[in-house]
Structures are given as C-alpha cells and as structure tokens.
C-alpha cells in the first residue's frame, strides 16, 4: 500500500510526496503534546499548486521540496489531493487547510494557555491585518496569549535590514506558535529562517488565513469549500492574478494527478 508509518501515524503518498493522514483536531493534539515535551515543529499545507511546484525541475522545485522535507506535519490543503488519495485506495480523513487550522490550533493553544505570534495581513497604517487577526483570535479563543503581531510592508523581504528586523520581532517575542500569512513561498522562507532561532516553537505558513481572520478578505462559502470549488471563489475575486496559474497550470496537473491515482489503485 502507498503509505508509511511514522511517529505521527499513517502517511499517504500523493504526487510523489508524503502526507499525514490526520484531521484538524489531530494536528492540534500533536502540537500540544510536542510543546509539552519542549519540541518545536513545522506544519506545511500543500495544495495542488504547491504539489505541482514540488514536482518541477530546477531551483523552485528544489526549494519547495526542501520545505516539505523540513516539515514535521504535511497536510492536504486541497480537495483534489483528498480525491486522489481516495482513488488510490489510501484515503485521507479530510482536507486540512491553513484557514481552518488557525482557528482549531488557536482554540487548543488557548486551552493550554500557550502564546501565538501573528505575522502577515495587510500592513498599517490603513489596515493592520496582523493586529486585527490577533485581536479576533484572542476574543474567540479563551486563554490564548498574544505574544505579538506584525504586518510587514509589501516587499519587506527585498531589504536585508527590514527583513532582519521582522525576524527579530518574532524571535524577541518568544512565542509558542507562529502564524505566517504572507503568501507562498515567501512565508516558508521566513519560517525556515526562524526555526533555528526558536527551536521549541511551532510554525504554520497559512497564506490568506490571517486576512480571513482579520476580516480583510472573505473566504468561500462552506459548500464551496467542501465541494472543491474554493479555487473558483478565489479566481472570481482575483482573476488577473490567478487565472493563468489555476487554469493553465493547476487544472491540468490536477487531472493528471487524479488519473495517476486511479491507475495506482488498479495496480
């Protein structure tokens, strides 16, 4: 069968990469157990686009595969990945998104009175997404401690001093968990640079989740999330930025992935 066991349980192979067969609640339980033992970690949430990039040759493919190899938990953020696992006969229990995890993890971290740092969202002065997201999480998750928050300016990563200052803010706060919502692959690069400085902390690159929590953006209706149509909602919101990626690259890759999974089961 196309799965392997690890200390974190069953894993499923999809598109050449291993995914943990877990639910959102299981992820939260494992994070709390690790924190209690003084062990840090990293959660990566590949979707079809990220899995496609991981299969690519050259620098970007190698970089994405490096993020995955550094991950403690890899969860499937995309219904096509869940469908592929089912077609292959090694089903994942559910789709696990960064936008869902930010709430499930915060609730669990609150019960354990742990702290979080929120990095991302639209920057001040017009709209401080990180501050609003942190306030929303604190209000909804009793016991959750806010170690800090920061919405870096767009392009901050291009100036070495500004980039180092952003990292220092997080490091100095010494959080138990860090949400980094500044887009892929930038957020994963930031996490890779922070991990050695905060070895007992956990990290989640959560993309647009900070904006959703802050109220800056609105997530797709629940029925679209469950039916695998969340991409269509995002495409309608940002057609200029996403049309090429979704329609020209991700859709053909998803079809090949599903066909390959069906062949895998027959074999």
pLDDT above 70 for 159:
yes
Backbone phi, then psi, for 74, in 5-degree steps? -120, 120
**Predicted local distance difference test score (pLDDT) of residue 171:** 98
Instruction: Name the pLDDT band for 216 (thresholds 50, 70, 90).
Output: confident
Give CA–CA dist 75/43, Å, rounded.
Answer: 8
Average pLDDT, stretch 102-122? 97
Strands 115-120 and 73-74, by their bridges, are: unpaired
Q: Has residue 34 got a pLDDT over 70?
A: yes
> What is the pLDDT, as a whole number, of residue 251?
81
CA angle 30/36/39 to nearest 5° reads 75
Weakest-pLDDT range from 88-97, 157-166, 180-189, 222-231: 222-231
Quick check: 237 pLDDT over 50? Answer: yes
Give residue limits of the domains in the chain: 3-214
- Which is more confidently placed, 64 or 222? 64
Q: Dump pLDDT digits (tens) for 44-82.
A: 999 999 999 999 999 999 999 999 999 999 999 989 999
Q: pLDDT band at residue 16, thresholds of 50, 70 and 90?
A: very high
Q: Is the pLDDT of residue 247 over 80?
A: no
Residue with tokens 């767009």: 154
**Element spanning 168, H or E:** helix 160-173
* Distance from C-alpha of 166 to C-alpha of 162, rounded to nearest angstrom: 6
* Mean pLDDT of the residues in the chain: 89
Of 74, 12, 82, 13, which is closest to residue 43 (Cα–Cα)? Answer: 74
Percent of the chain with pLDDT over 90: 74
Q: Which residues contact 184 (CB under 8 A, 6 or more apart)?
A: 49, 50, 205, 207
Residue 33, judged by CB atoms within 10 A of its CB (0-12, 13-18, 19+), counts as: exposed
> Helical H runs in 71-152?
79-87, 98-111, 129-140
Q: What is the CATH number of domain 3-214?
A: 3.40.50.10700
Residue 106 binned pLDDT confidence (cut-offs 50, 70, 90): very high
Average pLDDT over residues 106-123: 96
DSSP element (H, E) containing 115: strand 115-120
Contacts of 206 (CB under 8 A, 6+ apart): 45, 98, 99, 101, 102, 120, 179, 180, 181, 187
């Amino acid at each position: 069968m196309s799965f392997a066991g690890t200390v974190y349980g069953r894993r499923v192979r999809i598109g050449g990469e291993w995914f943990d067969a877990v639910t959102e609640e299981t992820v939260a339980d494992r994070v709390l157990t690790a924190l209690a033992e003084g062990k840090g970690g990293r959660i990566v949430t590949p979707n079809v686009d990220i899995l496609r990039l991981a299969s690519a040759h050259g620098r970007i493919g190698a970089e994405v595969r490096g993020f995955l190899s550094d991950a403690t938990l890899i969860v499937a953020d995309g219904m096509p990945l869940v469908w592929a696992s089912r077609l292959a006969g090694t089903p994942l229990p559910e789709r696990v998104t960064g936008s869902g995890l930010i709430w499930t993890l915060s609730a669990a971290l609150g019960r354990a009175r742990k702290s979080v740092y929120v990095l991302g969202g639209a920057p001040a002065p017009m709209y401080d997404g990180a501050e609003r997201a942190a306030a929303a999480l604190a209000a909804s998750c009793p016991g959750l401690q806010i170690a800090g928050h920061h919405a870096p300016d767009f392009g901050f990563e291009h100036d070495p001093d500004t980039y180092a200052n952003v990292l220092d803010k997080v490091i100095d706060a010494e959080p138990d968990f860090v949400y980094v919502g500044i887009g892929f692959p930038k957020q994963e690069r930031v996490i890779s640079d922070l991990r050695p400085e905060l070895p007992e902390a956990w990290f989640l690159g959560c993309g647009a989740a900070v904006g959703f929590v802050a109220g800056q953006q609105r997530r797709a209706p629940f029925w679209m999330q469950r039916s695998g149509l969340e991409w269509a909602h995002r495409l309608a919101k940002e057609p200029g930025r996403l049309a090429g990626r979704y329609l020209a690259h991700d859709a053909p890759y998803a079809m090949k992935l599903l066909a390959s999974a069906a062949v895998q089961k027959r074999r």
